[in-house]
Every structure is written in C-alpha cells, then in structure tokens.
Chain A
Amino acid sequence: MDHQKAAENFSAYLDGELKDPEKGRLEGHLAVCMQCRTELASLKKTLGQLGHLRREAPRDLLDNVQHQIYVRSRGRFFNRKWRLFGKIPFEWISLGTIIAMLIYYVLLKHASPGGVKALP
C-alpha cells in the first residue's frame, strides 16, 4: 500500500468504518511507515479538537422563541383544545355575535304578546 492509498483510508479508519481486508492492509502499512503514522496521529488530533468546539445556546433562547411564537400567532398558538376558536379570526367571531344578538332582538320584538299568560 502506498502513502496516497493509506491516507485515503485514514478518515474511515478513525471512524471505525474501515473493514477487512482494507483495514488489515492499512494497519500493515502503518506498522512500517513512520510518515503515515505521523499523518494519522495529526488527523486524529485535529478531529479531537473539532470535537471540543461546543457552544451553549444563549440563556434567553427559550424566551425569545416563545416571544416570536406569541407575536406571530397573536397568542393563539398554544392550547390546541381551543383550536377551533383559535383558527377563526376574532373579527368573524364578533360579527357572528352581533348577528346572533340582532336575530334574538328581532325574535323578541315580533313575539306574540299573548304568548305569555299573566299569573292569576
């Protein structure tokens, strides 16, 4: 195995993804090639350093996300139990209420005055 072919397998080897016979060939080459051993150790070190690149999310991420959701949904995103109401625009609900009250008013006005008998 030459250096070029060995180097092509470093990545899979370090991930434990290189299978025999390729793995055996690479290990055989590494046993006798100082240059490739050094290259492999260097790549391993680099990958180890990449693994330490951790950043925590800002502490206000949750608050900011909730704020965004509340603003964009006008506070109607959560509590799906009320999803029917949540999906109907408030303007429609108001209009429906006004129409219902008007109908009730008209019915009352046209109700027969003799419909209700006075108590003896």
Chain B
Amino acid sequence: MSMAERMLVARLKERDEQAFSETVRLYGDRVFNLVYRMLGSRAEAEDIAQEVFVSVFKTVDSFRGESKFSTWLLRIAANHCKNRIKYLARRPTSGTHLDDVGEAAMADHGRAPMSSHVDAPDVLLEAAEIESLMQKAIASLDEDQRLLVVLRDVEDLSYEEIGEVTGLPEGTIKSRLHRARMAIKQAIDRHTR
C-alpha cells in the first residue's frame, strides 16, 4: 500500500469528512464503472455505487492494510454486485434489466468539452453499437467470469490485484479469464459476421 493510501485510510478512520470526499472523488469512477458493467443498468449502478461507499465508510475500521485500499474497496463493490444480481434474479418480475446501452453510449460519446472536437455521427453510432454489443456479451457471462473480465480488461487490474479482489489463485484467474474472453469474442464474432 502506498504512503498516500496509508494516509488516506488513517484520515478515514479518524472520520475526517474531507478524506471521505477525496475517496469518492478518487475511486468514484472506478467503482461506478465496475458496478455498471456488472449490472448493466445505470439506475442500479447509481444505487449500488452509493451503497458501496457507505459500506466502505462504515467498515473502514476493519481494514488492516493487508491489501491495497483500492482492491479492498473493489472487493466490497464486487460483493455488492453479486448480492444485487442474486436479488434481481430472485425477483419474479424480471431479471437484470439491461439499459439501452447504445443510446446511453451515444449520449456519452457525444458529450465533449467545449474545446475538443466532436466526432462525426457515424463514428458516434459505431462506437455506441460496439459498446452495446460488448455490454450484451459481458451480460451473457456468469457473474464470476463477468467480474474477471471487468477487472482485467475494463479496469486494467493485474492478476495479483484481481487475486486480492476475488480471493482466487492466479491459475484459476487465468483459465476462467481465458474462457470468458473467448465467450465474448465468439459473441462479438456472431454479430459481426
């Protein structure tokens, strides 16, 4: 754990409000991205991302510094996601409701700072279609495989960090990740052929 992380954790344990704001600003995007890719619904992701940070702040006293703070935080996020997936699967009305990712992605890709260029509509549309396809492919995986793909290929974590988040040995991570990636590739190939 880096010195900066150590100091942040110490301040969190002292209930320093500024440290809590910093934590949300530093890790908000990563947590939200993970949760969104796991659940596929923006509304669910917003709800769970909040719950993750509330849990982090409630349980920070139990953090012993045996892993990185960031991986500990992502482990909490992953557990929340798994619980929500189980809850949604049990609901009689429907399973996880996937957003119209394409539409949302179009809106996001089109949103650009004033000084930057704006992509052409066909480029935006293609990016949105790819994102939609990717999200559907991720959603078709079981939750364990989904988590591995999101942690490795979306969040760019190392195998060691993934081990800290999931508690899985490296060999298992490698083999499950391989199967998950091949499943995604096949799903993409089916759509593009």
The digit string for A52-79, where 1 denotes a CB below 8 A from any CB of B, is 1111111001101110110010000111
* Contact assessment for A11 and B154 in the assembled complex, using a CB-CB cutoff below 8 Å: no
Give the contacting residue for A61; candidates B14, B32, B108; CB below 8 A: B32
Segment from A25-33, A39-47, A99-107, A111-119 that makes contact with B: A39-47
Is chain A's interface secondary structure helix, strand, loop, or mixed overall?
helix
Q: How far is it, in angstroms, between the C-alpha of A66 and the C-alpha of B16 when the chains are bound?
A: 12
Q: How far is it, in angstroms, between the C-alpha of A25 and the C-alpha of B152 when the chains are bound?
A: 25
User: Is B103 in the interface zone, CB < 8 Å from A?
Assistant: no
User: Is B53 in the interface zone, CB < 8 Å from A?
Assistant: yes
* Contact assessment for B156 and A61 in the assembled complex, using a CB-CB cutoff below 8 Å: no
Q: Which of B161-190 contact A (CB under 8 A)?
A: 174, 177-178, 181-182, 184-185, 188-189
Q: How far is it, in angstroms, between the C-alpha of A12 and the C-alpha of B155 when the chains are bound?
A: 17
Residues of A near B16 (CB, < 8 A) are 78
* Contact assessment for A78 and B15 in the assembled complex, using a CB-CB cutoff below 8 Å: yes
* Contact assessment for B184 and A50 in the assembled complex, using a CB-CB cutoff below 8 Å: yes
Residues of A near B72 (CB, < 8 A) are none
A63 to chain B, nearest CB (A): 9
Q: How far is it, in angstroms, between the C-alpha of A77 and the C-alpha of B19 when the chains are bound?
A: 13
Give the size category of B's interface with A. 35 or more
Is chain B's interface secondary structure helix, strand, loop, or mixed overall?
helix
* Contact assessment for B50 and A68 in the assembled complex, using a CB-CB cutoff below 8 Å: yes
Give the contacting residue for B108; candidates A17, A42, A55, A77; CB below 8 A: A55
Evaluate whether A62 and B54 lie within 8 angstroms (CB atoms) in the complex, with A53-B37, A54-B33, A57-B49 already known.
Answer: no
Evaluate whether A62 and B25 lie within 8 angstroms (CB atoms) in the complex, with A11-B178, A42-B189, A55-B108 already known.
Answer: yes
* Contact assessment for A43 and B181 in the assembled complex, using a CB-CB cutoff below 8 Å: yes
Q: Enumerate the 4 nearest inter-chain pairs by beta-carbon distance, A residue then B residue, closest first.
A: A57-B32, A80-B15, A57-B28, A11-B178
Task: Beyond A57-B49, A65-B20, A83-B15, list 9 extra A-B contacts (CB 8 Å).
Answer: A12-B174, A53-B37, A55-B29, A55-B36, A57-B28, A61-B46, A62-B25, A64-B46, A78-B16
| 12 A/B residue pairs, CB under 8 Å, sorted by A | A15-B152, A47-B153, A49-B130, A51-B153, A51-B154, A51-B156, A53-B131, A65-B24, A68-B54, A69-B20, A78-B20, A79-B17
- Residue positions of B touching A, CB distance < 8 A: 13-17, 20-21, 24-25, 28-29, 31-33, 36-37, 46, 49-50, 53-54, 57, 108, 130-131, 134-135, 149, 152-154, 156, 159, 174, 177-178, 181-182, 184-185, 188-189
